[in-house]
Structure 1
Amino acid sequence: MQAYKWTSLRWTLPLAACALVSNSFAAEVIKIGEINSYKAQPAFLEPYRKGMELAIEQVNKSGGIAGKQLKLVIRDDNGTPGDAVRAAEELYAREKIDVLTGSFLSHVGLALTDFAKQKQRFFLASEPLTDKIVWADGNPYTYRLRASTYMQVAMLVPEAVKLNKKRWAIVYPNYEYGQSAVATFKKLMKEKQPDIEFVAEQAPALGKIDAGSVVQALADSRPDAIFNVLFAADMGKFVREGNTRGLFKGREVVGLLTAEPEYLDPLKKEAPVGWTVTGYPWYSINTPEHAAFLKAYQAKYKDYPRLGTIVGYNAIQSIAAGLRKTNGSADTAKLVEAFKGLEVDTPFGRITYRAQDHQSTMGAYIGKTAYDAKLGRGVMVNYHYADGKDYQPSDEEVKKLRPAAAQ
């Protein structure tokens, strides 16, 4: 019988026993690897990170998954596809992660989608919006949480049609997300309003907008309405320059992502008024699910949530729900199967991951922008929640859009 020795006020176990304890402890943790553009897109991703941390804390406090605790291991992709893939390889090789999630920028999300396909690893794309992730470049291993560009544009189109404007100008960031959103807007608007005209397009590089020249070019085209797909700092510069030059006076504007607090709040008194937009009116959503989430978030962070917070929170809750179905197994084949038709309770209500294209039914809020003098910033009014399940192509269309090997 081996004796235990008392050394420096602690027990010293024999080596074999130490290894056993170490392995046993490791088996009690499920590592979630998360890759994102934290340095490139801090306005969205710092709140996103807090949402993930809140969800991790809640899952672990409730007993974890099959007795195992969740652990988050985060890497920054510097906003580039190559760095994202290298980070994924490092997370598996060195950190021994069990599940991969994350990405914000669409071209980075596509790189991780391809990584999942090549390595046959489960991947939950939490935020990137490009339709290619679940359609043209879809694969059996990749699921996507947030409503895609197609879905969000489809939510806005009925409102745009109601405006009954013929001449439209378009501005968007010149990369996958912006290009995809504009292509969908043109297609769906043409179907609903055949006489529509697109009289101008401005597509500045992401993060490099020359707002003065962009605004002037749009004004010169004399549009009746503008479709804006810019976000983050680009949107702020565009709005300020547009206000200065009177671009928006007497013109309707439809904006994708515009009323997300991370982008609207920094504009303060310069916030646009009367735009038809997608966003997140956290301050006036009156549902039990959102009230419980809001209370927990504010108690932990003494701050208000942004849309990024919801996405981060829902990503972890989705992974937890999938792991519960597998009884704690992170095996790729089991997780892929578990996510087919997976239902997850979120602050926006229950969502489902569609088996036919691996897209969740998470929706978005659609409404108008306004200025709240008491708060000193822009808000969202006259809004409604658009359930993602109502803004998807038919199953037959999805079959045509998605590779046969991914179905």
Structure 2
Amino acid sequence: MASLKRICSLCLLLFLTGMHASAFAQEKVVKIGALYPMSGRAGIYGMDSVAAAEMAIEEINAKGGAAGYKLQLINTDDKSKPDYAVTVAKRYISDDKVNFLFGVVSSAVGLALTEVSKQEKKIFIGTDHAATELTAQNLQPYYFRVANNTFQSMAAGALYLKELAQTKPWKTIAYIGPDYAYGHAQIEELKFNLDRFGVKYQMVGEFWPKLFEADYTSYITSIMQAKPDIVVSGFWGGDTVAFIKQAAPYGLFEKSLYFHPDAGGNYELLSAMGDSLPLGLVLSARHHNNWPDTAMNKDYVAKFHKKTGRYPTYSAEGAYVGVYAIAEAVKKVGNPNDSDALVKALEGMKFQEPEDPEGFVSYIDPASHQMVQVQAIGVTMPNTDYPPATRMLGNWKIYKAEDLLPPKEWIEKKK
């Protein structure tokens, strides 16, 4: 009898264990294969992006997920190296069976991964990199970008310079930016938009340091010799911090207006430089902690600070929004494996973002797969509300989203 009881108990245990294993195996999961730099000058962008993506996933999963699926993030340090990132992406698809490729800070990495996305018919949600090629001449059906591109920033920049010329006349521009796709795109697109908006100017120099340059001294002295009214910068990340720190002792910012309309106003710069950050620099970024002054933006910034103990850099919001875009597409389609249906769901998708001012809702342009957004450009001024920064942007100029999109003739010419 005792032996029979032991046999029955064993059978019950095996039955229950089998039920648990079966339930676990049947749990529905949307796998997101992210690639972000987690070290070096770009590392803060990767860390913030992963934290914000996890924050969005926690919020979505707490509400039941998307169409019954829980979201799961897998991240690998892409080391800002295109070849390595391609290897990881292919492993994600073949071994990890991810439903989406996601992330990327470097435009060079983004351009490499969009080819993998195209070949494998796997949707790639770009959350940070800004080279316009990805949504113009290199656009393919499975790529979507949920942050603004360089064309939008340069269009806003050209409009700002047009307005500036009415109050503080200027004539000459010098440009300095990284010698790769992202840097070259910015000056080309700024020139196009200045011409498009009828702004007269003279280029007095273009300077092309390599990415992650250690010493900008020779470039700084050359710019000062050229004596431009406006210094347009195309740096991002730690390169922006390094350049401004090295240029300030030379008095560059007293002699020329420093204008950085794409990634210059990132919180990384504001927090890293404190009181040493010059006042009066004209900057923008893809998200601002203190603009717009909306409940949604305040809530997003506060939640990120509570989760990480720091205020977010601009890259974080792109990752946060990207996760929500995936969740909304899966909810609409009901199947994270149907890439073609998900593409249709993403095209034209509208949803409120932390960076949207009152009265505007961001949306994905169906033709370019580019997020359409308002852009704000501000000026550095004293502000201690977001420590350790003691400078934030203010005196905002706001530019309408539709005014910043590339005209059709420009896109057709690029193709």
Which residue of structure 1 aligns with residue 160 of structure 2? 159
* Alignment of 1:258 onto 2:247: no
Pairs aligned (count): 397
- Give the letter for the 2:390 counterpart: R
Instruction: Note the C-alpha offset of 1:232.
Output: 2.2
Looking at structure 1, the residues matched to 35 and 325 of structure 2 have their Cα atoms a distance apart, in angstroms, of 16
SS at match of 2:372: coil
* Alignment of 1:231 onto 2:275: no
Which has the higher mean CA deviation after the structures are superposed, 87-96 or 175-184? 87-96
* Alignment of 1:278 onto 2:291: no
Instruction: Map Cα deviations across residues 161-184 of structure 1 (whole Å, 9 max, x no partner).
Output: 223311111110111100000111
- Which residues in structure 2 correspond to 1:336-347 (within 5 Å)? 336-347=343-354
Unaligned 5+ segments in structure 2 are 1-5
Which residue of structure 2 aligns with residue 316 of structure 1? 323
Looking at structure 1, the residues matched to 316 and 384 of structure 2 have their Cα atoms a distance apart, in angstroms, of 25
| CA distance 1:4–1:78, shift in 2 (3 Å) | farther
Which residue of structure 1 aligns with residue 3 of structure 2? none
Instruction: Note the C-alpha offset of 1:195.
Output: 3.9
Which residue of structure 1 aligns with residue 377 of structure 2? 366
* Alignment of 1:389 onto 2:402: yes
* Alignment of 1:243 onto 2:245: no
Q: Which of 330, 334, 359 is the aligned partner of 1:327?
A: 334
Instruction: Note the C-alpha offset of 1:379.
Output: 0.8
SS at match of 2:206: strand
Which residue of structure 2 aligns with residue 377 of structure 1? 390
Contact 1:4–1:13 (CA under 8 A) maintained in structure 2? no
Contact 2:37–2:45 (CA under 8 A) maintained in structure 1? no
**TM-score, with length taken from structure 2:** 0.89
Instruction: Map Cα deviations across residues 11-52 of structure 1 (whole Å, 9 max, x no partner).
Output: 333897676434312xx1111111122224112221111110
| CA distance 1:298–1:387, shift in 2 (3 Å) | farther
SS at match of 2:299: helix
Which has the higher mean CA deviation after the structures are superposed, 159-168 or 49-58? 159-168
Instruction: Note the C-alpha offset of 1:395.
Output: 4.2
SS at match of 1:100: strand
Instruction: Map Cα deviations across residues 191-232 of structure 1 (whole Å, 9 max, x no partner).
Output: 445641111121100001422111101011111211011222
Which residue of structure 2 aligns with residue 11 of structure 1? 13
Looking at structure 2, the residues matched to 304 and 209 of structure 1 have their Cα atoms a distance apart, in angstroms, of 26
Name the structure with the higher strand share. 1
Contact 1:99–1:123 (CA under 8 A) maintained in structure 2? yes
- Give the letter for the 1:24 counterpart: Q
- Which residues in structure 2 correspond to 1:199-218 (within 5 Å)? 199-218=204-223
Instruction: Note the C-alpha offset of 1:58.
Output: 0.5
Looking at structure 1, the residues matched to 19 and 401 of structure 2 have their Cα atoms a distance apart, in angstroms, of 52
Which has the higher mean CA deviation after the structures are superposed, 392-401 or 88-97? 392-401
- Give the letter for the 1:125 counterpart: G
- Which residues in structure 2 correspond to 1:32-51 (within 5 Å)? 32-40=32-40, 41-51=42-52
| CA distance 1:142–1:251, shift in 2 (3 Å) | same
| CA distance 1:303–1:195, shift in 2 (3 Å) | closer
Which has the higher mean CA deviation after the structures are superposed, 207-216 or 15-24? 15-24
- Give the letter for the 1:131 counterpart: T
- Give the letter for the 2:281 counterpart: W
Which has the higher mean CA deviation after the structures are superposed, 391-400 or 306-315? 391-400
**TM-score, with length taken from structure 1:** 0.90
* Alignment of 1:23 onto 2:25: yes
Looking at structure 2, the residues matched to 333 and 208 of structure 1 have their Cα atoms a distance apart, in angstroms, of 42
Instruction: Note the C-alpha offset of 1:93.
Output: 1.7
Looking at structure 1, the residues matched to 175 and 8 of structure 2 have their Cα atoms a distance apart, in angstroms, of 74
